[in-house]
Amino acid sequence: MERLNFETIKHYQSFETIEEMDQSVRGFLYKHKAELSEGTNNVLTFIWRHSVKVIGVSFAKYDYIATNVELSRRTVIRAVNKLEQLGIIKKIPTAKMNGKQGVNIIVIQAFQQLDDLKNNMSPQAVTVSVTPNKTENKQSSLCEIKTKPNNVTEQGNRSQQAEESISQEKIDPSIQQELDESYLPESVHKEFVQAAKPFFSASAIYKLWNRVLIAYKKINLDCPLENVIEEVVNAFKQTIFAKQIGKIRTSFEGYFYGVLYAKLIVEKRRENRHLLLDFIGEE
């Protein structure tokens, strides 16, 4: 059993960069998220956010994790054991200066790359774990031309016609046309509008902006959204490029949300860096 000090922690660094760690965790979630309870997923997210001082290594106490994810200590221990069983983390026991057992170092393990997982899985087997919205796989891509192929079943046509009928009942027929960006509310950030308007109508831009608000609220950043708008725009541009090269196999909205969520997670970790040394030297 090793002594808990910075040199010991540094020895277990498992990634060269934060981006490599992010890709590994996202690959794990892509494959295993359906097997995780909400509590276990929250524990993993907390460990992930607190593994940046030494990349891939967390030394947070179970009690501290439990307080922050609002679970019991016993539940946190079960979650950590589950994550270790699935191969995304490894526990390293340490000893205090008096020889008694200390905090477990938690090391995030390298996992199969997300793109490799997508390429090796059939479309029927894919679950987009980086996006929490369960309906996203049912939505058509915003970048696709909204026409049905000739071999669409009669049942599918009837369903589409019913949806169009309902939609037309709710909206005044006199405004049944695509609106440009000038109709958007002022709450939609101008830089985001500027990036999106060559590709989408006002209604589509508004839907994508709602994804931004959901991700920002879920990550719970301390800084205002204005401060990370550059990351938001970069996430959108990444998604446009991925669409252009045929990389997106789900909906455009869902893929965009996943890219944005990963970027904002990194920002949240940067905000939390000052907390990461609180446990060194504690008995």
SS3 assignment for the chain: CEECCHHHHHHCCCCCCHHHHHHHHHHHHHHHHHHCCHHHHHHHHHHHHCCCCECCEECCCHHHHHHHHCCCHHHHHHHHHHHHHHCCEEEECEECCCCCECCCEEEECCCCCHHHHHHHCCHHHCCCCCCCCCCHHHCCCCCCCCCCCCCCCHHHHHHHHHHHHHHHHHCCHHHCCCCCHHHCCCCCCHHHHHHHCCCCCHHHHHHHHHHHHHHHHHHCCCCCHHHHHHHHHHHHHHHHHHHHCCCCCCCHHHHHHHHHHHHHHHHHHHHHHHHCCCCCCCC
- From CA 250, how far away is CA 123, in angstroms rounded? 9
Tell me the residue type at 254.
G
pLDDT of residue 114: 52
User: What is the predicted pLDDT for the residue at 275?
Assistant: 56
CATH number 3.40.50.11900 given to 2-115: no
The pLDDT score that the predictor gives to residue 231 is 93
What CA dihedral angle connects 66, 72, 76 and 78, to 10 degrees?
A: 180
- 20 — phi, psi (to 5°)? -65, -45
* pLDDT of the residue at 127: 40
To which residue do tokens 């970048």 refer?
143
Q: Give, for all 283 residues of the chain, the pLDDT tens digit.
A: 556 667 777 888 888 888 889 888 888 888 888 889 999 999 999 999 888 888 999 988 899 999 999 999 999 999 999 999 999 999 888 877 666 777 888 999 987 655 555 555 444 443 433 434 444 444 433 443 334 444 444 444 544 554 444 344 344 444 445 677 888 888 899 999 999 998 888 888 999 999 999 999 988 888 899 999 999 999 999 999 998 898 888 889 889 999 999 999 988 888 777 555 554 545 4
Q: What is the pLDDT of residue 165?
A: 43
Rg (CA), the chain: 22
Query: Can you give the residue ranges of every domain in the chain?
Result: 2-115, 185-272
Cα 234 from Cα 146, distance rounded (Å): 26
Confidence at residue 125, expressed as pLDDT on a 0 to 100 scale? 41
Residue whose pair of structure tokens reads 């994790």 in the numeric block = 65
pLDDT of residue 117: 54
Spell out the residues 6+ positions from residue 258 whose beta carbon is closer than 8 angstroms to its own.
26, 128, 130, 131
What is d(CA 221, CA 233) in angstroms, rounded to the nearest whole number? 17
Handedness of CA 120, 124, 125, 128 (dihedral sign): positive
Nearest-angstrom CA–CA distance, 163 and 167:
6
